[in-house]
């Protein structure tokens, strides 16, 4: 065998060995690529699933964010409305505060004025109470004097009643004497002169009344006794009243009667009624001038 053939055989053998190595390497590389491809495909599937999950989570987060934004917008709107309402309430409160301050100022002025008025009224009340005490004291004094006058008037009326009884008895005695005298004078043909007996009041008429038209005295009737045709008045010696002075008793514009003074005290007087047109009453006016 020639060297060339040996060389070709060796080269063929080396080529076969190289080709076998190449095939072996290719086969092993193909298995590796196939495994890597499977791994890559698995990773791609996992990545796709992760992407889908991420997209799903993203959409869920997006929806939740939109809901939160809507809720937040609603809350913001509610807060804005509440803020507007609070602002309106605050403005209203400020106006009411200003009105209340004005009222307080007005009330303070009114209270101050009322306090001054109360102080003035208190002073006036104290003065009126002092005057009332004086009036009450005077009333007590007048009532005491009136009681004394009434007692005196009753005493004088009792005296007048006694005098009336005596006058009646004297009239009866005079009538009996007149009858006896007529019986005595009848046999001689004579007759006693009969003195007419007039109705006698329960009081003695004053001899002469005092004209007092220029004096101008005025007062009131304080007591009336129609049984004895007498009355008492509210003025006396201290006012210029004198015995036998004549007063005219009136009620409004009506003439009631005249009153002729019989007895005078310091602050009251008692008289008899004359020219009676109406029955006098306590409180009727008296004056020396009509």
Mapping DSSP onto H, E and C, the string for the chain reads CCHHHHHHHHHHHHHHHHHHHHHHHHHHHHHHHHHHHHHHHHHHHHHHHHHHHHHHHHHHHHHHHHHHHHHHHHHHHHHHHHHHHHHHHHHHHHHHHHHHHHHHHHHHHHHHHHHHHHHHHHHHHHHHHHHHHHHHHHHHHHHHHHHHHHHHHHHHHHHHHHHHHHHHHHHHHHHHHHHHHHHHHHHHCCCCCCCCCCCCCCCCCCCCCECCCCCCCEEEEEEEECCCCEEEECCCHHHCCCCCEEEEEEECCEEEEEEEEEEECCCCEEEEEECCCCCCCCCCEEECCC
Answer whether 229's CB lies under 8 Å from 164's CB.
no
Asked if residue 238 belongs to a domain, the reply is yes
* Mean per-residue pLDDT of the chain: 81
In whole angstroms, how large is the CA radius of gyration of the chain?
72
Asked if residue 180 belongs to a domain, the reply is no
pLDDT at 251: 95
Instruction: Tell me the residue range of the domain where 256 lies.
Output: 203-287
Across 241-248, average pLDDT:
94
Asked if residue 38 belongs to a domain, the reply is no
pLDDT digits (tens, 9 = 90+) for 150-194: 777 777 777 777 777 777 777 787 788 877 777 777 665 555 444
* Residue that wins the pLDDT comparison between 29 and 289: 289
Asked if residue 128 belongs to a domain, the reply is no
pLDDT at 198: 38
pLDDT digits (tens, 9 = 90+) for 95-109: 999 988 888 888 788
Asked if residue 277 belongs to a domain, the reply is yes
Name the pLDDT band for 209 (thresholds 50, 70, 90).
low
Model pTM score: 0.34
The CATH code of the domain that includes 218 is 2.40.30
Cα–Cα distance measured from residue 69 to residue 57, given in angstroms and rounded to the nearest whole number: 18
pLDDT at 242: 93
Asked if residue 32 belongs to a domain, the reply is no
Answer whether 275's CB lies under 8 Å from 258's CB.
yes
Name the pLDDT band for 200 (thresholds 50, 70, 90).
very low
Asked whether residue 201 carries a pLDDT value surpassing 70, the answer given is no
Cα–Cα distance measured from residue 96 to residue 214, given in angstroms and rounded to the nearest whole number: 75
Asked whether residue 148 carries a pLDDT value surpassing 60, the answer given is yes
Considering all CA atoms of the chain, what is the largest pairwise distance in Å, rounded to the nearest integer? Answer: 254
Domain count across the chain = 1
Q: What 3-state class would DSSP assign to 278?
A: coil
Name the pLDDT band for 265 (thresholds 50, 70, 90).
very high
Asked if residue 241 belongs to a domain, the reply is yes
pLDDT at 211: 55
Query: Which contiguous run of DSSP H or E holds residue 219?
Result: strand 218-225
Instruction: State percent of the chain over pLDDT 90.
Output: 25
């Amino acid at each position: 065998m020639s060297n060339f053939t040996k060389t070709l055989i060796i080269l063929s053998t080396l080529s076969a060995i190289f080709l076998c190595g190449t095939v072996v390497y290719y086969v092993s590389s193909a298995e590796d690529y196939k495994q890597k491809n499977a791994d890559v495909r698995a990773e791609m599937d996992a990545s796709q699933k992760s992407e889908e999950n991420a997209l799903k989570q993203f959409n869920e987060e997006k929806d939740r964010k939109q809901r939160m934004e809507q809720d937040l917008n609603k809350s913001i709107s509610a807060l804005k409305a509440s803020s507007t309402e609070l602002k309106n309430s605050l403005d209203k409160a400020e106006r009411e505060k200003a009105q209340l301050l004005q009222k307080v100022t007005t009330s303070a002025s009114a209270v101050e004025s009322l306090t001054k008025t109360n102080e003035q009224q208190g002073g006036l009340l104290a003065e009126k109470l002092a005057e009332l005490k004086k009036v009450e004291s005077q009333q007590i004094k007048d009532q005491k004097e009136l009681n004394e006058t009434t007692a005196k008037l009753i005493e004088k009326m009792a005296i007048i009643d006694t005098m009336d009884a005596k006058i009646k008895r004297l009239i009866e005695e005079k009538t009996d004497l007149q009858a006896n005298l007529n019986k005595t004078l009848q046999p001689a043909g004579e007759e006693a002169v009969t003195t007419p007996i007039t109705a006698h009041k329960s009081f003695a008429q004053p001899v002469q009344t005092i004209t007092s038209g220029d004096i101008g005295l005025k007062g009131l009737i304080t007591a009336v006794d129609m049984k004895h045709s007498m009355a008492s008045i509210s003025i006396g010696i201290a006012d210029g009243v004198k015995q036998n002075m004549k007063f005219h008793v009136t009620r409004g514009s009506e003439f009631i009667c005249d009153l002729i003074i019989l007895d005078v005290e310091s602050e009251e007087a008692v008289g008899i009624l004359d020219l009676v047109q109406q029955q006098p009453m306590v409180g009727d006016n008296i004056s020396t001038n009509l």
